[in-house]
């Protein structure tokens, strides 16, 4: 029997609520499809930081380096500055494990309506590839003369040829694997005349390796309009760390709620474990209330199962999610319903058990 070791890191806020739900659903998948998942649970997060001064132990990465994958909740607490948590926990895993391809699918799931008037469902089926290792979030910069009138602060966006090439190859490859073989390269090379121009040049070079993929280029500001007004013209998208961060929250809103959107932080070469997480954050306004939507974590778990090669289980979990979202009585408050996290989780596990596909 196949056996997987998964590191579960709930982190902060609703992280613990949605990761508990995800673990339950993944165990139900394993039972249904005849494999075993051993979860190791790590209490890394802001509580630990407030007590010990560190979000994770000094040897933290070594503790999870050999795991098959990481299931992550959220990093962020009301009483810790966001840049401290993000760099202390989430990026402290993503960067050393070189999870450079962040993949974010968006679809309108059954039973959920898009705020876009002309979208009933099939018009919107996207996957955003976010460069996840450099660019605007490379961490290069500094701050000097703090508090003085001459204070200076810089965040330098840093792009490397190798970094852009690998994410472009990944995105073209992903576009090729989808039926429409259609990629939009998002840029801002009119205003940012160095790195973004190199980004465009490398896109064109890599495109030559993928003659069967149709591609076009779009300035990021115009891209927000195209996503809103002509969603059916888009399939796969590749964008920088910052641009894709923003565009994917917009995409999640179009799909009905931030609470359903999934993401995979992939190290495609599998040198290091990849990390799967809902795209939402700690959701301070609803934490502890038992109403967090677990669908984003379930869908991220589908991506994890696909990456592990458990394609039957992945498809079965996706069908279970869609069966449950189709039933409005199982919608959590973010989708306008009254269901609790546990109601949705139980329904997904039941749908899994009853799925004979």
Q: Is the separation of the CB atoms in 175 and 213 below 8 Å? A: yes
Least distance from C-beta 121 to ligand NAD, angstroms? 21
Residue 306's H or E segment, with its range, is helix 295-308
Least distance from C-beta 245 to Mn ion, angstroms? 4
Short-list 73, 64, 69, 56, CA closest to 21: 73
**For residues 27 and 34, what is the distance between their CA atoms, to the nearest angstrom?**
10
Q: Does 82 bind ligand NAD (CB under 6 A)?
A: yes
Q: Does 74 bind ligand NAD (CB under 6 A)?
A: yes
Short-list 143, 99, 115, CA closest to 263: 99
Least distance from C-beta 152 to ligand NAD, angstroms? 25
* Of 65-73, 119-127, 230-238, 241-249: span binding Mn ion (CB under 5 A): 241-249
* Of 70-78, 130-138, 174-182, 209-217: span binding ligand NAD (CB under 6 A): 70-78
**For residues 339 and 349, what is the distance between their CA atoms, to the nearest angstrom?**
15
Q: Does 300 bind ligand NAD (CB under 6 A)?
A: no
DSSP 8-state assignment for residue 67: S
* Of 74-82, 154-162, 174-182, 195-203: span binding ligand NAD (CB under 6 A): 74-82
Q: Does 245 bind Mn ion (CB under 5 A)?
A: yes
- Of 98 and 277, which has the nearer Cβ to ligand NAD? 277
Q: Is the separation of the CB atoms in 236 and 184 below 8 Å? A: yes
The residue with tokens 């792009």 is 159
Q: Does 134 bind Mn ion (CB under 5 A)?
A: no
**For residues 27 and 29, what is the distance between their CA atoms, to the nearest angstrom?**
5
Q: Which of 22, 88, 262, 281 binds ligand NAD (CB under 6 A)?
A: 281
Residue 39's H or E segment, with its range, is strand 36-41
Neighbours of 231 (CB within 10 A): 20
Which of Mn ion, ligand NAD, none has residue 202 at its interface (CB below 5 to 8 Å by kind)? none
Which parts of this chain interact with Mn ion (CB under 5 A)?
A: 245
Binding site for ligand NAD (CB under 6 A): 14, 18, 74-76, 82, 90, 258-259, 277, 280-286, 292-293, 296, 332, 334
């Amino acid at each position: 029997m196949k056996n997987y070791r998964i590191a579960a890191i709930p982190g902060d806020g609703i992280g613990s609520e949605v990761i508990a739900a995800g673990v339950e659903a993944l165990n139900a998948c394993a039972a249904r499809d005849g494999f075993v998942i051993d979860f190791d649970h790590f209490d890394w997060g802001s509580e630990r930081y407030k007590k010990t001064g560190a979000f994770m132990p000094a040897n933290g990465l070594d503790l999870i380096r050999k795991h098959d994958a990481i299931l992550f909740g959220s990093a962020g607490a009301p009483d810790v500055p966001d840049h401290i948590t993000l760099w202390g926990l989430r990026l402290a895993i993503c960067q050393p494990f070189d999870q450079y391809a962040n993949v974010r699918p968006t679809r309108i799931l059954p039973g959920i309506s898009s705020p876009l008037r002309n979208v009933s469902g099939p018009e919107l089926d996207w996957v955003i590839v976010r460069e996840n290792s450099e660019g605007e979030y490379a961490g290069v910069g500094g701050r000097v003369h703090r508090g003085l009138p001459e204070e200076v602060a810089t965040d330098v966006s840093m792009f490397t040829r190798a970094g852009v090439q690998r994410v472009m190859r990944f995105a073209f490859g992903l576009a090729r694997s989808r039926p429409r073989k259609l990629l939009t390269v998002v840029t801002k090379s009119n205003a940012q005349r160095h790195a973004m121009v190199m980004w465009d040049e490398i896109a064109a070079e890599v495109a030559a390796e993928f003659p069967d993929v149709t591609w076009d280029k779009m300035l990021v500001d115009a891209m927000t309009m195209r996503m809103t007004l002509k969603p059916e013209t888009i399939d796969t998208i590749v964008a920088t760390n910052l641009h894709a961060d923003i565009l994917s929250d917009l995409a999640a809103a179009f799909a009905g709620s931030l609470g359903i959107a999934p993401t995979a932080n992939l190290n495609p070469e599998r040198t290091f474990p990849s990390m799967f997480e809902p795209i939402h954050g700690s959701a301070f306004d609803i934490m502890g209330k038992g109403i967090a939507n677990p669908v984003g974590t379930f869908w991220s778990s589908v991506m994890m199962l696909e990456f592990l090669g458990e394609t039957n289980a992945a498809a079965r979990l996706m069908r279970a999610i869609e069966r449950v979202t189709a039933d409005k009585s199982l919608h959590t408050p973010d989708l306008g319903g009254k269901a609790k996290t546990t109601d949705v989780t139980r329904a997904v596990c039941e749908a899994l058990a009853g799925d004979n596909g």
